Amino acid sequence: MKFFVDTADVAAIAELNDLGMVDGVTTNPSIILKSGRNILEVTKEICSIVSGPVSAEVVATKADEMIAEGRKLAEIAPNITVKVPLTWDGLRACKVLSGEGRMVNVTLCFSANQALIAAKAGATFISPFVGRLDDINMDGMELISDIRQIYDNYGFDTQILAASIRTVNHITQCALVGADVITAPPSVIKALANHPLTDAGLAQFEKDWAKTGQKIL
Ligand code: E4P
């Protein structure tokens, strides 16, 4: 399973990238706002760090304008993935941009039917939002599982990019049901290493090692 980082925090991306944890990056208008940076500049900087797909989202609502924005964003670097919303205009833009050989991430997916039509429109990635479904008392992971089955039934090669990942348990469940990619904030990816028994075990080893009076270096 690939790990994308859901942030425009360049320092956090670089830190995780050094550990080999970054297969790509996703951004959206809210993430750009949080970064306080210009979209073109910060996206270019991210692309200079990460060689995998970097999603940059269009903000127009009409297909023609989305296509023009997508082409401009794609000029930033060869690994730009143009992110479009799951509307009919977004799907039109997806069809045109993917037909030009560009990677397209169709975002704001909340149903299996939406995922089905995104695949038919040539999406490289579909982004179902797990956490936002859980927020309204629906089952985000059930959606990932349904999309997996539908894509496998018909051999669609659109990759399932599980988004709106809020917890480490979401990541475990995504791995179990076969999401191709998860995108999560740096804090959630870093929390994957945490376990209280690891902390307790390490504390005990440190205590006992001190009693030996030995040194390795
Ligand atoms: C995905 O591409 C989105 O940027 C993101 O995962 C949304 O997450 P949120 O629901 O926590 O804002």
Q: What is the pLDDT of residues 161-176, one digit of tens each?
A: 999 999 999 999 999 9
Instruction: Give the Cα-Cα-Cα angle 108, 62, 182 (nearest 5 degrees).
Output: 20
HEC readout, 140-161: HHHHHHHHHHHHHHHCCCCEEE
Spacing, Cα 142 to ligand 1 middle (Å): 18
Q: Which residues contact 194 (CB under 8 A, 6 or more apart)?
A: 168
Domain-by-domain residue ranges, the chain?
2-212
Ligand 1 pocket, residue 132 CB under 6 Å: yes
**pLDDT 10s per residue in the chain (217 long)?**
999 999 999 999 999 999 999 999 999 999 999 999 999 999 999 999 999 999 999 999 999 999 999 999 999 999 999 999 999 999 999 999 999 999 999 999 999 999 999 999 999 999 999 999 999 999 999 999 999 999 999 999 999 999 999 999 999 999 999 999 999 999 999 999 999 999 999 999 999 999 999 999 9
Residue nearest to atom 11 of ligand 1 (CA): 164
pLDDT of 146-158, one tens digit each? 999 999 999 999 9
Q: What pLDDT, on a 0 to 100 scale, did the predictor assign at position 213?
A: 98
* Torsion, Cα of 94, 96, 102, 103 (10° steps): 10
Q: What pLDDT, on a 0 to 100 scale, did the predictor assign at position 139?
A: 98
Ligand 1 pocket, residue 107 CB under 6 Å: yes
The residue whose CB lies within 8 Å of the most ligand 1 atoms, and thus the one to mutate among 3, 5, 6, is: 6
- Residue 200: alpha-carbon gap to chain centroid: 32
Q: What pLDDT, on a 0 to 100 scale, did the predictor assign at position 166?
A: 97
Ligand 1 pocket, residue 28 CB under 6 Å: yes
Q: What pLDDT, on a 0 to 100 scale, did the predictor assign at position 99?
A: 98
Q: Which CATH superfamily is domain 2-212 in?
A: Aldolase class I (3.20.20.70)
- The strand pair at 24-26 and 54-57 is best described as parallel
Ligand 1 pocket, residue 52 CB under 6 Å: no
Token duo for residue 122: 């040539």
Instruction: State if pTM tops 0.95.
Output: yes
